[in-house]
């Protein structure tokens, strides 16, 4: 019974860490996208196609 408890606990901790990491990565990518969009909007008069 103790072995099962340790296995389930380890699995839960791994899932929690993966969730936190994906949250941090998602927030970072979102902030960088907003910053890049703001830079593009600021310099839109200089962009020609």
Mean pLDDT computed over 7-17:
95
Residue 11 confidence class, pLDDT cut points 50, 70, 90: very high
Rounded distance between C-alpha atoms, residue 38 and residue 41, angstroms: 5
Residue 46 confidence class, pLDDT cut points 50, 70, 90: confident
Mention every residue, 6+ apart, whose C-beta is less than 8 A from residue 47.
40
Integer distance in angstroms from the first to the last C-alpha of the chain? 67
Domain annotation covers residue 47: no
Domain annotation covers residue 18: yes
Give percent of the chain above pLDDT 90.
Answer: 71
Quick check: 47 and 40 in contact, CB under 8 A? Answer: yes
Domain annotation covers residue 8: yes
Structural domains counted in the chain? 1
Domain annotation covers residue 49: no
Residue 49 has pLDDT above 80, yes or no: no
Mean pLDDT computed over 14-30:
98
Rounded distance between C-alpha atoms, residue 8 and residue 10, angstroms: 5
Provide the pLDDT for residue 37.
95
Domain annotation covers residue 46: no
Domain annotation covers residue 14: yes
Domain annotation covers residue 48: no
Rounded distance between C-alpha atoms, residue 46 and residue 37, angstroms: 14
């Amino acid at each position: 019974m103790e072995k099962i408890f340790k296995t389930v606990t380890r699995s839960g901790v791994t899932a929690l860490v993966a969730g936190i990491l994906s949250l941090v990565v998602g927030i970072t990518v979102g902030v960088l996208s907003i910053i890049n969009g703001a830079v593009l909007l600021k310099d839109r008069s200089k962009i020609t196609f």
